[in-house]
Every structure is written in C-alpha cells, then in structure tokens.
Chains A and B, each alone.
Chain A
Amino acid sequence: MARVHLWASLRRFAEGQEVVEVDAATVGQMLDALERAHPGLGPAIKAGLSVAVDGEVIANNRSAPVKPDSEVFLLQRLKGG
C-alpha cells in the first residue's frame, strides 16, 4: 500500500498518524480513500492540495498513477508568479 505522509498540522485529523497507508492506483483514488478513512481531512483536501509521488510534485492531476510502494507527501496547493 502507498504510504501517505501528512504534514504535522494535519495529523490531528488522522488520529495523530504521521503516515497513513492507502490502497490506491491514482492520486484521485488516494485522496478519496484518505477522506473516507479520516473525514476530518476533508476540508484540507477540498481546499486544494498538491502531492508529491515518489519525488515528483503533482500539482493537480487526479489521474496521476500511484504505485503500491509509492511514497506520497501531501503539500499545500502551490501557486506561482
């Protein structure tokens, strides 16, 4: 299962876990599974997130693949100038 790292101030919405294991094949499935397992994360996910999957930052692509051994980091939605 993919290991999803939560930034510290999100962990209180996931029973204090730093890493949540999620069974998902895409970024969209991963985010949906996270919200199902931890509804408290819903506002953060709905507010817009970027993710990094195995080192690559995915700004906004729910179809981006996630592998069973992927390491995923949630990031705030990035803006640029």
Chain B
Amino acid sequence: MARDDVKTGYKLIGTRPNRPDGLDKVTGRARYGADFSLPGMLHAAVVRSPHAHARIVKIDASKALALDGVKAVVTRADLPTGLTGEDLNLQDNTLAGDTALYDGHAVAAVAASSALLAQDAARLIEVTYEVLPHVTDVDAAMAPGAPVIREGVADYSVPEGMHGNVARYMEFGHGDVEAGFAAADIVRAQTYKTEATHQGYIEPHACVGQMGEDGRGEMWVCTQGHWYIRRMCAAVLGIEAANLRVTPSEIGGGFGGKTTIFMEPLSLALSKKAGGRPVKLVMSRSEVLRATGPTASASMDVKLGMKTDGTITAGQVYFRMQGGAFRGMSPIGEALPCAFACYDIPALKHEAVEVIANRPKAAAYRAPGSPMAAFAVESLVDEMCRELKLDPIEVRLKNGATNGSKSSYGPVYNVIGLKETLEAAQAHPNYAIPLGPNQGRGVASGFWFNHGGETSVTLAVGEDGTATVMIGTPDIGGSRASIGLMVAETLGIPYENVRVNVVETGALGVNEPTHGSRATFASGKAAVEAARQAIAEMCRRAAADWGIDADAVEWKDGAAHPAGPNAGKFPPMTIGEIGAKMGSTGGPISGHHEVTAEGVGASFGTHVVDVEVDPETGRTTVLRYLVVQDAGTAIHPAYVEGQYQGGAAQGIGWALNEEYVYGADGRLQNPVFLDYRIPVASDLPMIDTVIIEVPNPGHPYGVRGVGETGITPPLPAVASAIAGATGARIRSLPCSPPKVLAAIKAART
C-alpha cells in the first residue's frame, strides 16, 4: 500500500512538498565542491603511480619547482611520522610512503597558479620506481605463491597458517549445520563472484583548503561527513581538530564513497607550504575511478539444504573479500550478518576472510557487503526454487524472518516488515504479467541494519515565528525536506516556515556523516527533540505572560493554549507572537539535542524484475522493475521512492555492466565512464515502487532508514531473471552481453 493511501493523524508527514534545494539545483545556483573559489587561490594536481606495486626509489621535483607559477610540492616527507592504525592507513593512502600499493596511488602533489600549470608541473616531477610483483584478484591474492604485498597485515583474528595477504577472519553461526543438511531433500553448493564497482557519483571529489604556518586551517569540500574530514585531515597532518574548520558544499552523490578522505589533506599541506594561499583540488573522473574507494570484490561459496516443500534446513557461507591494499576496508563484518538476515533458518555457519590486494583502498558503498552476500545466497535460493518448481516468494514467506525471529547474526528481531514486502510483491500486478519468449522473472529480498550514531542538532525560533534548524548531516537524498517536515509537524507550523541548514564543524557538536541510512532517522530524531525543547520554553513564556503555571499550558497548532478550563481563559499565543517578543521575555528561544542515536529499525525489501535477453547478442533489457520496501514511516514519500529507485538503478548497473577491469600489468583498464558502464536513463524502465510502512518503535514518527536496502536485491534478482529467460545461470557478475552469450551457448551444448 502506498504511503499516501494510509490514514494517519499527521498533517504534514506523508505529504510531498517541493524539495528545498530544488530551485538551486535546477538553476545552477547550488554550490558544489568545485564551485568554491577564494582570492589568491592556487590549483593542485597529483602525481600518481602508474604501477600496481612498486618501491619508490626517488622523487625529483626540481624541474617542476623551477616553473614560474609553481608554488609548492608535497611528498610523504612533508607529512608527520609516528601514526598508527587507521590513521596510518589514511596517511599511507593520501600519499604513498616507501611503496606505491596500487595503480593510481598518490605519490606527490603540486600547487600552481593555474590548473593547467599544476598539471604540467605534475608531469615534470620525476619518480623512480622499482616495480614489485602484484596481485589484484581476490582468489589469486590468497593462492599459494601469491606475493605478500604487505608484511604483518593480519590482525588478532587471523588463525595461524593462512596466507600472508589475509588480514582478517570471522566466523559465527548457530545450530547443527551438518544435521540440517542431513535433514534436507536436496543440498546444493555453488560459488559466486562479484567484481568491485564504484559508487559512480556524478560529482568528482573537490575541495579548497587553506592552512597557515600556525597550523590553523579551513576547508570547503564535498563530503558526506565534514567532522570525519576534520578528524582524518587533522590526524594525517598532525594538527589539532579544533584548528580546522570544515564547511560542506552541496553534494552530487556519495553513496558511502565520500565518508572518508582521499586527497583533502593534500590541499591543506600544499597551502601551508605555499604560505597559506588557498589551494583547490578537483579530481578528474579517471582519478576518481583509479584512486578513490570502490567497493570490494568478492568470491563466495554458499551451501543450502532444502526440503521439497521449500523449507530451508541449513545454510553455510564462506566469503572471501578484498578491499584494496589496506586492512579493514572490505565489508566482511557486514556481509556475513546480511547473508541470511532475511531468513529464519535453524542451522547456519558463516565464515569469511579479508584479503589485501593491489587495488585502491575500498570505501563504503550503499549497504556495504549486503549486495554481494545477497547475490550469493539469494541466487542459490532461486536456483533451488527453480529445481524444485517452487514459487520463490512462497519459499521466502515460508522461511522468512518475522517479529521475534532469531536473526542469522544472533539477536532477536523486534518489529520488522519483511513479510509485508513479500506479500505486497506477490499481490502486485507485475507478478502476474505473463512472460514472452526470451523473457524471465527474478525475485530477491534484501536487508540492511540501518544506523543511528553521533548526532547534534540545534533549532532556533525566529522573531516571525519561523524556525531554523541546524544539522550536521549533509543532504544527499532529501533529508532537509524530511527533517523540515518532522519539525513543522512537531511545532504545528507550515512546512514553508521551517528552513533546515547543513552547517559547518564550528556550529555544532560532532556529527557522524550521512551514512548508514541515518540522516532522516538520527538528525530527524534529534530535530524533533530540539523542537520539543523549544515548545517547552515557548509554553513557559506564555505561562509567564498569562501568570499561570507552565504545566497548565499545552502546545497545539503552532500556539500555546491554556491546558484546560482551570488554567484560565486566554487566547492562544502563536509561535509568531512568542517569537516577536522573546527578546523582552527572557531572550532567544532555541532547542538543542545531541545524542548517540539508538532505536534504529532494520529495513527489508523485496524486488521483482522482468528481463528480456537477446539470444543473438546476450544483451539484457530490463522490461519492468518493482521495488517493495519497508520505510517505517515515509516522511516525504517522493524522496523515499527516489531512494528505492536509485538503489535499484545502481544494483541493476552492478548486475549487468559495472566492473573494475584490471590488466595483467595491474593497471585499471576502464577508468572513464565510457568504459565503466553505469546505467543511464535510456537503459532503464520506470522503476515501480511500493512503500510498506511498519513503523519503527525507536523513532518518534516511526522512521526507518531507506537509503541502502534498495541496492541489495537487484544483483540476484536480475541474474535470476536472466536464468529464467535463458536457462543459463550467471554466477559471476556482471551479466554483461559477452558473458550471457557464452552462458547461453554453453547451456545449449
């Protein structure tokens, strides 16, 4: 049931007002990272390793520095030493130390009076390399004889005897797996692989950094989290966090890839070396693909036991994931708990290793780990459903997790909406449309935990009765609108009277980034609490004016009212009337709330896709696509639908076309959008959405995060639809035309 058909007591929540940033974005007035400029600004360029693995013998910048207009060069020697742990990883990734670890690894940076001059100067910086053996494939990286690319990378979790490239190990489960397999009518095991993909945000990384000799600095940057930028830059450069003020720009997509730093400290280091002149650094698309964080590549073994009636008796997975040349970057810790999260299965075993390889340092990408895990598990569920001629939705309803189920990763689910998504998908007209020749239908479900996190919000009442809300989570997918709606609903004022601003690091306490589908949930929850504080103060002001006790005042419809006949007869005092005289009744009125937000509600979704495959070319056309997902409460349904559609579009791209292609030399072969093929509008049909609302009891308006779950089911759903259309199962993404054509031919022979 669509959110708009649900009857609630809300006046504003669930409506679809114009997006507050819409006019700015369609008129070009919105300022993105690369739009920012300052007087006297320099431009920077980065020298990157052309080798997948190489010792850096010598860096000679003398020719570059001799150019007129070149103001500074930085190398690793300019950065402080002594860092440890993830801070050292960040510094190692910002600028290579003794060794370049992947194709595109930054080796030096130069600042000059123009961008073209900086690029010319970068080409004049001479780097002498000693090329070392490399490995880029996840399975090859842990095969006997594979070069150990960094000694001592294993952490406490890795048992003795594993390959030197294994950085982490994890295992958990419950029940007797072998007994479960013995009780099954069929047991099937397969191996699935997914290639690394990039978030594909349209806006490349960009920043302007300024830092004086005194170590005090400022930065303007496109980011999902400017407090993370501040903390990470401070760590890499050895400065105090409070000495760096960071202001976020509008953001042209992030999807997890802008929750960390890549080149930002370089602009500050160059600025400091250039006498404090601001330095702008804008990545090219090629740099984005070569040197920022894609997601991990994965190789995954799955084994399932199933009875002929569809009951799943046991499951087992062994995942191998590489997240680049740095420990801790692959999402094994998320992929494993997500693998069977949609199911209530009595016996499960999960095992995973993280392997390092000569690839860029991976970053988060929308539900990190969950899409790969779903591709493996949901594909095998589909294979077994087809073998036993069972309806895939019925099988999921039979085995699906519900309220009170013990989750695959341990804790018991509270209130979840998976069953509702399955029932809605089953009832949707798309599920009954007859399929034609060369057409197939795929079904898959998906899960994401969602996240709360550190959050700080301030709300100020204006003299005219409007409200300004200051949040610290950059608006990627409509959170200013949804937070504005919640605040307006709480205050009882028009949505147009609330303005939500994303403010800089000096204006609020620490905020985690917009990640984990948390912005509308956590900043929204804090904003509602801030509004309630302001309401309490406005009730006190009215009570003082009326000469009654504050407890005898209630707030409704944007005004203070006497709470009952015993409170006295006074006309309502509106927020505008209270705001107009607040200077003379005690001073400014504001509310503030800061919290590490808990009470997140997990979000489940079910997707149904129909495809047609051209048997002559292997090209797959998506005919129709349905996303059904639990939003808890859809605050602004249009944005919720946009998140569902965006997640599906990215997942379809991952399923059909997107992949990092490395040559035998370890260099990325497709670092441009012409060769790294993300879906464009003409590739996709209108993506149908159904918003399920099973309110989250941990949020005042029932919100669940909606940003990430939507990318999880498309990978297995599309591959299963192709299997239905062709009889050929693709177990290694992407399902690109050559691969599909080869699978069709193999199935015929």
Binding site for B on A (CB under 8 A): 5, 7-10, 13, 43-44, 47, 52, 54-61, 64, 71, 73, 75-81
Contacts and interface: CB of A to CB of B under 8 A. Distances in A.
A9 B354 CA distance: 14
Contact of B171 (A5, A8, A43, A52): A8
A57 B704 CA distance: 14
B367 A81 contact: yes
B161 to A, nearest CB: 14
A16 to B, nearest CB: 13
Contacts of A71: 411-412
Interface in B535-571: none
A34 to B, nearest CB: 14
18 contacts: A9-B171, A43-B155, A44-B157, A47-B155, A55-B412, A56-B414, A59-B453, A60-B453, A73-B409, A78-B333, A79-B259, A79-B368, A79-B515, A80-B368, A81-B199, A81-B255, A81-B259, A81-B364
Contacts of B366: 81
The secondary-structure label for the interface of chain A is mixed
Contacts of A5: 410
B411 A73 contact: yes
Contact of A60 (B171, B259, B334, B596): B596
Contacts of B169: 9
A73 B174 CA distance: 13
A55 B413 contact: yes
A28 to B, nearest CB: 12
B334 A9 contact: no
Contacts of B452: 59
Contacts of B410: 5, 7, 52, 73, 75
B262 interface: no
Given A60-B453, A61-B598, A80 B157 contact: no
Given A78-B516, A81-B365, A57 B173 contact: no
Interface in B128-175: 155-157, 159, 169-173
Interface residues of B, number: 48
B334 A7 contact: no
B209 interface: no
B737 interface: no
A50 to B, nearest CB: 9
Contacts of A55: 411-414
A46 B576 CA distance: 51
B596 A57 contact: no
Interface in B309-340: 331-334, 337
Contacts of A81: 199, 255-257, 259, 364-368, 515-516, 707-708
Given A52-B410, A79-B333, A80-B367, 11 more contacts: A7-B170, A55-B414, A56-B411, A57-B411, A61-B596, A73-B410, A78-B333, A79-B368, A80-B256, A81-B367, A81-B515
B589 interface: no
A58 to B, nearest CB: 6
A77 B171 contact: no
Nearest to B369: A79
A78 B453 CA distance: 11
B333 A56 contact: no
Contacts of A47: 155-156
A2 B595 CA distance: 25
A8 B578 CA distance: 59
Contacts of B255: 81
A9 B159 CA distance: 9
B215 interface: no
A75 B414 contact: no
A44 B411 contact: no
Nearest to B404: A55
Most chain B beta-carbon contacts within 10 A, residue among A44, A52, A71: A52
B703 interface: no
A45 B454 CA distance: 19
A7 B169 CA distance: 11
B720 interface: no
Contacts of A52: 410-411
B451 interface: yes
Given A7-B170, A78-B516, A79-B364, A57 B449 contact: yes
A9 B516 contact: no
B708 A80 contact: yes
A79 B171 CA distance: 18
B124 to A, nearest CB: 38
A78 B255 CA distance: 16
Contact of B516 (A13, A58, A75, A80): A80
B600 interface: yes
Contacts of A58: 598
B453 A76 contact: no
A9 B170 contact: yes
A-B residue pairs, 3 tightest by C-beta:
A80-B516, A81-B256, A76-B333
Contacts of B409: 73, 75
A81 B448 CA distance: 11
B337 A75 contact: yes
Nearest to B331: A79
Contacts of A44: 156-157
B173 to A, nearest CB: 6
B451 A59 contact: yes
B411 A9 contact: no
A76 B599 contact: no
Interface in B332-384: 332-334, 337, 364-368
Contacts of A13: 156
Interface in B673-731: 698, 707-708
Contacts of A56: 411, 414, 598-599, 698
B518 interface: yes
Interface string B412-437: 11100000000000000000000000
A7 B172 contact: yes
Contacts of A61: 596, 598
B439 interface: no
A8 B600 contact: no
A59 B172 CA distance: 19
Interface in B239-277: 255-257, 259
B417 to A, nearest CB: 15
B297 interface: no
A79 B169 CA distance: 17
B629 interface: no
B598 A79 contact: no
Contacts of B473: none
B111 to A, nearest CB: 32
Nearest to A72: B411
B574 interface: no
Contact of A7 (B171, B413, B451, B518): B171
Given A61-B596, A61-B598, A76-B170, A43 B156 contact: yes
B406 to A, nearest CB: 9
B456 interface: no
Nearest to B413: A55
A57 B454 CA distance: 14
Most chain A beta-carbon contacts within 10 A, residue among B159, B169, B518, B598: B598
